[in-house]
Amino acid sequence: MPAYRPEEIEKKWQAHWKAHRTFRTENHSDKPKYYVLDMFPYPSGAGLHVGHPLGYIASDIVTRYKRLRGFNVLHPMGFDSFGLPAEQYAIQTGQHPAITTEKNIETYVQQLSSLGFSYDWSREVRTSDASYYKWTQWIFLKLFNSWYNLDTDKAEPLTELTARFAASGSEGIRAAGDDGDRLSFSAGQWALFSEKQKLAAVLPYRLAYQQDTYVNWCPGLGTVLSNDEVKDGLSERGGFPVERRLMPQWNLRITAYADRLLQGLDQLDWPDAVKEMQRNWIGKSIGAEVTFPVQGSETAQIKVYTTRVDTIYGATFLVLAPEHELVDELTTPGQRAAVDEYIAATKRRSERDRMTDVKAVSGVFTGAYALNPVNNEPVPIWLADYVLAGYGTGAVMAVPSGDQRDYLFAKHFNLPIPAISDAQQGLDQQADPTKEGRYINSGIINGLTYKEATQKLIAFLEEKGLGKGKVNFRQRDAIFGRQRYWGEPIPIYYKDGTAYGIAEADLPLVLPEIDEYKPTETGEPPLGRAQDWLYKGKYPYELSTMPGWAGSSWYYLRYMDPTNEARFVSEEAEQYWGSVDLYMGGAEHATGHLLYARFWYLFLKDLGLVSSNEPFQKLINQGMILGVSEKIYRLNQAVKPEATTAETQAALDTPFTKLHFSSSEFELSLPTKNVFVSQDIRDRFRPTEGVSSGSLTALHVDISQVENNKLDIDKYLSSHPDIQDAVFVCAGGYWQNGSFTAFPFGGSDVFLTASEVEKMSKSKYNVVNPNILIDKYGADALRLYEMFLGPLEQYKPWNTNGISGVGGFLKKFWRLFHPEDGPLAVTDEPATPAELKVLHRAIQKAQEDIEKFSFNTSVSLFMITVNELTALKCHKRAILEPLVLLVSPYAPHLAEELWQELGHEAGSISTASYPEFREEFLVEDTVTYPLAINGKVREQMQFAAAATAAEIETAVLASDFLAKHGEGKSAKKVIVVPGRMVNVVV
């Protein structure tokens, strides 16, 4: 047999696994089940880089280990294949998103297969396949036709709600949602309602409902964006401006499940950080809803929610969200211009910016006043962008003495800050939110404690009809519509302006073909371009599509039964697989996908369609592999602000002429504005007169153009044809047009880049293609190396140089079977105690490591084990055969090859049994004790492992140890620490 050649072995076994469907899983087995799930990827055009497979490798190791432990393992893979990138590419090129998506998936499948993952590809799902999104639409219709009954604390079909309407009207019905949006009617009135009136009455109860909602509208992309897709007021993709706009949107009433989503977290084996993120996002609080009448109005009222109703006497102003529905009514003529200007500015800021910017203070007075309900004192009504329309009531009772943000606002606008507690301190410097002490300046609660005051105020407000105790949640209902093409069509049509769900028998509602993928000229979503796209040939469909998270909220269920045409998953398959036992994915999905998936699962549970309590029992967040980016610095010309137009043009036409070094002043004319500076001299420049300080802009360079921080200038220019005249200034001169001009004082001609460890990303040009490493070192080496980098959950910098060491280990492992790369030389000789000890120590540790998901320590263990067996010149089947099984989850191709060479059926290692650990092989016959005189170790002595302390003491005193080291003194006492050491006190 020739030397270890991974390029041959790995292709052989990948082909074998595919041809023999080795990893196909059945939905019934006498074995216990284990479901391992990876967060399925969006198939981008960039393909995988080495950072992507980290979690996939770990989950595949667990999968292969569990098979060896006797489990029936489900380990599927699919693709989250709807999304904005494919649509943007379609807009630019005119190519249908399905074509690019299919091409990208082919790349992903090839790359994933080349890494030897043991996926059951027969269960592959793609969210953009109509056979899949038929059931996404079906679940939406179930939501559309359900309401949440607070009395039973579960979702129920709307037919049960309408039956109650028919029997007794709306009286006594407790449902999740805003009661203020609902009609009050009797059974007789319900009977007289028209069909349209009945649907309008039911709408505020639905779990999927349409409502005017403030959204992040991006005109440049022609769609609504989630908060996560907006950065600093711009779209994350494309950098287009985003504004807040009130639009009719589909929403899912996730708030109905807020408390259950909170409670369920306690039962999950998830990272504490992820659970805490969900708790904070849901944001449960216990407080009161208080009504502030508007002064001078008989009907206008402002409702606020507060967790500190005890501070109400200190409320010296109200703050409304600029989008609040009463703003227009409240604004006085004298304040109209200022209010309109402020609202326009707010629309340009995302919700995320408004929530996180705690330093800037801004606001505008409406000119109106409300009345404090406990003392009838007038309080001014202001607008401020730190209040959001969708959070609580969109209004804040501002108590500047107890809340720092209110305090800063009051200081900025010179509003009163009265103390309300005798325990508050330092109000001339900051707010004091203490609950200690007793209340002052607080009317009916003067002298009371926090608890006493809270109870008394809520009772007072409820008696007067001006408030009530209330549990509130920060979480809002989930906006479900997107004004895009490449997504699931929402299965809704409109008749006389009223929304109806299409019949389940008519699913799927397939995406129609359109001529362009951008919004229509009249501003409708892209689906508005579809010709004759009507339900039953006459009713217009909903033109929005579902968000990206729709298909990913239930895909794990479809994997259980992916080809079922009659049901989203069969009862038998769902009950067999239950919930996911191990879910591997990123923490960045904590308040997105992971929360939405739990919501959908609880809803399906309410309808009796799933059998567990939660979808994902254990979650592991793999850390990120960080890339080493390389940067160069471009020297910018910037004109002085005070320069005239003529001076401005002259300055811009003047090249940089002066370089400043610490020891000399050196004039240099450069006939170009494309000047790049080596990182070692970037602080030595001074620009010409007429130009402000020469700022430096850091630019990422493709790492393939850099070696040991040295930029290959020719390679760089070949990828930037627009700057062929560029000058690259080094410490000792400059490069231009392929030639070097030296400075008179000498110095290096190497143009150095600056290295920085940061996220591996195509945009940073620091990605490493796994295909290149697999071609050079093999997939097994890449798998082992990614695990070897460090603990799975931690961030780890990538260094390609390290993979060669892992490749060397695999060759050394091979040579235990093929000494000197010769023929197979495994013998049937019995193993020695030393060899058995090495093996069983490895079995014990490898098993413990996988159970603890500590994969990096296992790789170290394998290296130590192979070194020890090499030193023992061990080539025995009794040792090497179990060792192959230990290594197989990590290096499956090499293990399959050696398993076959050892005489087993080809491809059968997955059905073998994990080696059994036997503790007796680790029991030592003898123990080596350090011997000490007065605590100072002098030498060692070996004793039988079973020797007693008395026997050890006798043996030490009978030896020459005391004579050699006791300086002629006699022993006062001998201390024996069993198994550890002996100390002779003299």
Structure-model confidence comparison of residues 191 and 926, the more confident one? 191
What is the pLDDT at residue 762? 80
496-511 pLDDT, tens digit per residue, is 999 999 999 999 999 9
What is the pLDDT at residue 666? 60
Residue 368 to residues 326, 345, 379, 880: CA-CA distances in angstroms?
Answer: 11, 21, 9, 85
Query: Parallel, antiparallel, or unpaired: how do β-strands 234-235 and 230-231 relate?
Result: antiparallel
Confidence grade of residue 907 (pLDDT, cut at 50, 70, 90): very high
Question: What does the H/E/C string look like for 98-159?
Answer: HHHHHHHHHHHHHHHHHCCCCCCHHHCCECCCHHHHHHHHHHHHHHHCEEEECCCCEEEEHH
Structure-model confidence comparison of residues 230 and 888, the more confident one? 888
Is the model's pLDDT at 689 over the cut of 70?
A: no
Highest mean pLDDT among 72-86, 719-733, 944-958: 72-86
Confidence grade of residue 698 (pLDDT, cut at 50, 70, 90): confident
Instruction: Give the end-to-end CA distance of the chain in Å, rounded to a whole number.
Output: 65
Confidence grade of residue 37 (pLDDT, cut at 50, 70, 90): very high
d(Cα 350, Cα 615) in Å, to the nearest integer? 32
Instruction: State which amino acid sits at residue 703.
Output: I
Of 447-461, 661-675, 748-762, give the lowest mean pLDDT range: 661-675
What is the pLDDT at residue 614? 98
Give me the mean pLDDT over the 474-491 stretch: 92
CB 117 within 8 A of CB 73: no
Return the residue matching tokens 């001339």.
428
Residue 623 to residues 253, 557, 764, 816: CA-CA distances in angstroms?
Answer: 33, 26, 19, 34
Quick one: what percent of the chain has pLDDT higher than 70?
94
Is the model's pLDDT at 641 over the cut of 50?
A: no
Region of residue 928 (left: phi > 0; alpha: psi -120 to 50; beta: else)? beta
849-866 pLDDT, tens digit per residue, is 999 999 999 999 999 999
711-723 pLDDT, tens digit per residue, is 999 999 998 888 8
Helix (H) or strand (E) holding 199: helix 195-202
Give me the mean pLDDT over the 601-620 stretch: 98
CB 82 within 8 A of CB 41: no
Q: What is the DSSP string of 434-462?
A: ---S-B-S-GGGTT--HHHHHHHHHHHHH
CB atoms within 10 A of CB 29: 12
250-261 pLDDT, tens digit per residue, is 999 999 999 999
Give me the mean pLDDT over the 793-804 stretch: 90
Is the model's pLDDT at 924 over the cut of 90?
A: no
What is the pLDDT at residue 170? 96
d(Cα 378, Cα 375) in Å, to the nearest integer? 9
Give me the mean pLDDT over the 727-755 stretch: 88
Is the model's pLDDT at 656 over the cut of 70?
A: no
Highest mean pLDDT among 258-267, 763-772, 793-802, 944-953: 258-267
CB 128 within 8 A of CB 104: no
Helix (H) or strand (E) holding 292: strand 284-293
Is the model's pLDDT at 94 over the cut of 80?
A: yes
Structure-model confidence comparison of residues 354 and 835, the more confident one? 835
26, 31, 34, 40 alpha-carbon torsion, rounded to 10°: -20
Record the pTM: 0.83
Query: Parallel, antiparallel, or unpaired: how do β-strands 378-383 and 317-320 relate?
Result: parallel
Is the model's pLDDT at 644 over the cut of 60?
A: no
Confidence grade of residue 120 (pLDDT, cut at 50, 70, 90): very high
Is the model's pLDDT at 693 over the cut of 50?
A: no
Backbone torsions φ then ψ of 561, nearest 5 degrees = -155, 65
Is the model's pLDDT at 899 over the cut of 60?
A: yes
What is the pLDDT at residue 675? 84
SS3 216: strand
Cβ-based neighbours of 735, under 8 Å, separated by 6 or more? 713, 727, 728, 741, 749, 751
Give me the mean pLDDT over the 99-108 stretch: 94
Joined tokens for residue 407: 């305090």
Helix (H) or strand (E) holding 837: helix 833-851
Q: Is 331 exposed, middle or buried (0-12, 13-18, 19+ CB in 10 A)?
A: buried
What is the pLDDT at residue 653? 55
Region of residue 292 (left: phi > 0; alpha: psi -120 to 50; beta: else)? beta
Structure-model confidence comparison of residues 761 and 57, the more confident one? 57
Return the residue matching tokens 């007169």.
689
Give me the mean pLDDT over the 382-400 stretch: 88
What is the pLDDT at residue 89? 85
Give me the mean pLDDT over the 241-248 stretch: 80
Quick one: what percent of the chain has pLDDT higher than 90?
72
> Does 762 belong to an annotated binding site?
yes
What is the pLDDT at residue 911? 94
Mean pLDDT of the chain: 91
Q: What are the beta bridge partners of residue 472?
A: 285
Q: Report which of 155, 75, 88 is spatially closest to residue 118, judged by C-alpha positions.
A: 75
Q: What are the beta bridge partners of residue 156?
A: 147
Backbone torsions φ then ψ of 327, nearest 5 degrees = -55, -50
Q: What are the beta bridge partners of residue 269?
A: 618
Q: Is 665 exposed, middle or buried (0-12, 13-18, 19+ CB in 10 A)?
A: exposed
Helix (H) or strand (E) holding 320: strand 317-320
Reported as half-sphere exposure (CB side, CA atoms, 13 A), residue 599 has a value of 31
Is the model's pLDDT at 72 over the cut of 80?
A: yes
What is the pLDDT at residue 652? 47
Q: What are the beta bridge partners of residue 328?
A: none
Backbone torsions φ then ψ of 883, nearest 5 degrees = -65, -35
SS3 822: coil
SS3 934: coil
d(Cα 941, Cα 711) in Å, to the nearest integer? 61
Joined tokens for residue 903: 């005489």
Question: In the chain, count of helices (H) and strands (E)?
Answer: 30, 39
Instruction: State which amino acid sits at residue 496.
Output: D
Backbone torsions φ then ψ of 608, nearest 5 degrees = 75, 25
CB atoms within 10 A of CB 220: 13
What is the pLDDT at residue 691? 44
Give me the mean pLDDT over the 543-567 stretch: 96
Is the model's pLDDT at 749 over the cut of 80?
A: yes
d(Cα 786, Cα 54) in Å, to the nearest integer? 6
Q: Any idea what DSSP says for residue 311?
A: G
265-322 pLDDT, tens digit per residue, is 999 999 999 999 999 999 998 899 999 999 999 889 999 999 999 999 999 999 999 9
